[in-house]
């Protein structure tokens, strides 16, 4: 029997939970393709237990739930998990800090971290816990969405980074954090695979980027005054660069996985 969600501590993601699926939508079929790619890349039996750290609203986890896998999703945000429960009433969910997982050593065959390490304040702590709860022979899977740095999304990210630097806000380097995390895992893994699970053409606008970025882990942790000023300046830049905040641009995106077996 699934356990009821318990009322929680707060998270920077709580306020964004209701619109998270809209702002970070994955096309139909992509979550299923991600699940299929993970299963094909591993030697985990169909009865293997799956832990999804940073499960959020279930954008990816719902595919595992629908397929009947032994899946548990954890997240710091109660509101995000509540949205997950609305979309998938039978999901096993728990509010937990990725650095202090409430599970015994060697409890899981697969541990997933999707869009987690690049924005984490302490990726080492999260990965140490991930390894603790992973059984011998199990796999850790890191996943993220990739798009060209020259596309509209990449241009907006770069410009926002410049604006925050001009505002004397310490610049976070997500790609560097991700590279360090991958190297840390590879140093003790017996096998590593890189897999492109899915690719698609996305259409987006600067306005959608502005709305989505409010819910980024690092950005949402900044003071509201800094957030508002940075987004106002980015909006002005985007109007000049794209002609309008509602000007649509298309770009190729993919969801890529790094699979580590231990």
Residue 200 phi/psi, 5-degree rounding, is -160, 165
The pLDDT, as a whole number, for residue 258 is 98
Strand partners, 134: 108
Task: Look up the pTM and report it.
Answer: 0.88
The pLDDT, as a whole number, for residue 14 is 74
Closest among 236, 247, 221 to 160, alpha carbons compared: 236
Query: The tokens of 171 are what?
Result: 């610049």
The pLDDT, as a whole number, for residue 12 is 62
Encode pLDDT of 142-156 as tens digits.
Answer: 999 999 888 999 999
The pLDDT, as a whole number, for residue 222 is 87
Fold adopted by 14-147+173-202+252-261: Rossmann fold (3.40.50)
**Residues of the chain whose pLDDT is less than 70?**
1-13, 15-16, 172
């Amino acid at each position: 029997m699934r356990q009821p969600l318990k009322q929680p501590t707060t998270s920077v993601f709580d306020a964004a939970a209701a619109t998270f699926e809209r702002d970070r939508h994955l096309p139909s079929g992509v979550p299923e393709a991600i699940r299929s790619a993970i299963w094909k890349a591993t030697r985990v039996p169909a009865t293997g237990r799956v832990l999804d750290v940073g499960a959020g609203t279930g954008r990816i986890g719902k595919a595992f739930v629908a397929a009947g896998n032994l899946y548990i999703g954890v997240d710091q945000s109660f509101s995000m998990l509540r949205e997950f429960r609305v979309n998938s009433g039978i999901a096993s969910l728990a509010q937990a800090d990725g650095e202090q997982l409430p599970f015994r050593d060697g409890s899981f065959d697969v541990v997933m971290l999707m869009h987690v390490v690049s924005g984490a304040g302490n990726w080492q702590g999260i990965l140490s816990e991930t390894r603790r709860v992973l059984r011998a022979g199990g796999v850790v899977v890191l996943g993220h969405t990739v798009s060209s740095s020259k596309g509209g999304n990449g241009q907006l990210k770069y410009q926002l980074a410049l604006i925050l630097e001009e505002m004397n806000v310490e610049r976070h380097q997500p790609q560097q954090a991700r590279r360090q995390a991958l190297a840390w895992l590879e140093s003790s893994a017996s096998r590593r695979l890189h897999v492109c699970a899915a690719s698609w053409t996305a259409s987006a606008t600067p306005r959608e980027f502005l709305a989505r970025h409010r819910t980024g882990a690092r950005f949402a942790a900044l003071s509201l005054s800094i957030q508002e000023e940075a987004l106002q300046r980015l909006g002005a830049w985007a109007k000049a660069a794209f002609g309008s905040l509602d000007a649509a641009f298309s770009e190729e995106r993919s969801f890529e996985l790094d699979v580590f077996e231990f």
